[in-house]
Structure 1
Amino acid sequence: MPKAVCVLNGDVSGTIFFDQKDDKSPVVVSGEVNGLSKGKHGFHVHEFGDNTNGCTSAGPHFNPNNQDHGAPDAAIRHVGDLGNIEATTSGGVTKVCIQDSQISLSGPNSIIGRTIVVHGDPDDLGVGGHELSKTTGNAGARIACGVIGLANLNSYQLYMYSGMLVQILYTISRVV
């Protein structure tokens, strides 16, 4: 299976990786987002890989089954509904680690060529009662985005290795 990557640029920036063992396995979404305000932020795959007019050009959430917006574990949801990522401090590094069984790196639910959008507010997961809850999760402004593309496997493996090394060194420093 291919691997994929998305680079977020701007005041909020980061790199998101997508890995799927085979077409029946869930996609593992991992990476880092920098510069978020403290709190939860909606995190979605949007329909188009078009950022010509900023994140607005990405269109609505990726929703090939024409469902209402929902939580990542809800039976009824957009394919692109990945919930929230949470920044524990303002302006720092936010780790992303999501496993999702609806998105794919191939087939009809493929996210290759679509856009990841990070929103300014929390996603209410479709249950907030706001007029936008069932379409966008009332997640607010689009503050960062990037097109999901096929990854160069050499770069992907190097980044993943360096990330594991940093985590190992951090863990060792906490123990010592």
Structure 2
Amino acid sequence: MYSNKIEFAVQMTCESCVNAVKKSVENVPGIKNIDVNLETKSVIIETNLPTLEVQKRLEESGRKVALRGYGGSVAGVTILEAFGRNVKGVIRFEQATKNYCIIDGTVDGLSPGEYQAAIHECGDISQGCKSVGEVYSNIGSIKAESSGRATFRLEDDKVKLGDVIGRSFVISEKSENGNQQSIACGVIARSAGLFENPKTICACDGVTIWNEKVGPKSTL
């Protein structure tokens, strides 16, 4: 299994914070290397675990944590939209080697069960998931737990990230008759790799990365 590096911004103010952060991820199976920088408030972790799982571990230190960069210089992201359903998710991509792409995702709002993940030909979501074209590459099955959340990390030897930027990622329901109904989709776009996102304040709304989860309290 290939590992990749994930960069997190972690709200640290002293060496005690650094020690707490290190302790939260030490001796965790699947986490290989940890690099903590107090000056830049940055934590880089080499792992083969899903991003969400690593972030939860870091948050156990009691510090606020935000994802800052994923993988190397060739990274991508999809924000899933459900168009009428309360399904949402984020899928991240990294071209780990010439022959393998890591696909790491979290999807919420699903009914428990198995779903099919695939990349479709087009990045046109003007008509929701109806206008994304035919399947370009089947990624595989993902499973939603009783909470409605599916967390997954897949390695694909057919997908080349440079070839799928601008296409769409689709989650479909599996039916008993073998047909599939698309329930959520999004366009695959380039995203920040390691060290490519130094911001602490969002230029679009002035909200710090620590408060982006709750959004701005007012708009000027």
Q: Say whether the fold is shared (TM-score over 0.5).
A: yes
The Cα RMSD (Å) is: 2.1
Q: Shift of the alpha carbon at 1:139?
A: 4.6
Q: Shift of the alpha carbon at 1:29?
A: 0.3
Match of 1:5 among 63, 68, 77: 77
Once superposed, which parts of structure 1, at least 4 consecutive aligned residues long, lie more than 6 Å away?
none
> Which structure: greater strand fraction?
2
Match of 2:93 among 18, 21, 32: 18
Matched, 1:141 2:181: yes
Identity of aligned residues (%): 31
Residue of structure 1 in register with 2:160 after alignment: 104
Match of 1:151 among 181, 187, 191: 191
Contact 1:45/1:115, CA 8 A, preserved across alignment: yes
Tell me, which stretches of 5 or more residues in structure 2 are unaligned? Answer: 1-72, 201-220
CA distance in structure 1 between the partners assigned to 2:155 and 2:81 by the alignment: 23
Residue of structure 2 in register with 1:29 after alignment: 103
Higher RCO (CA 8 Å, separation ≥ 6 residues): 1
Matched, 1:48 2:88: no
Letter in 1 for 2:187: V
Cα distance 1:114–1:144, how it changes in 2: closer, same or farther (>3 A)? same
Deviations 1:57-97 (A, max 9, x none): 001101xxxxxxxxxxxxxxxxx1112111121x5221021
Q: Shift of the alpha carbon at 1:152?
A: 2.4
Deviations 1:29-62 (A, max 9, x none): 0020001111110110000000000001001101
**Which shows bigger deviation, 146-155 or 38-47?**
146-155
Tell me, which stretches of 5 or more residues in structure 1 are unaligned? Answer: 63-79, 125-129, 131-137, 159-176
Larger Rg: 2
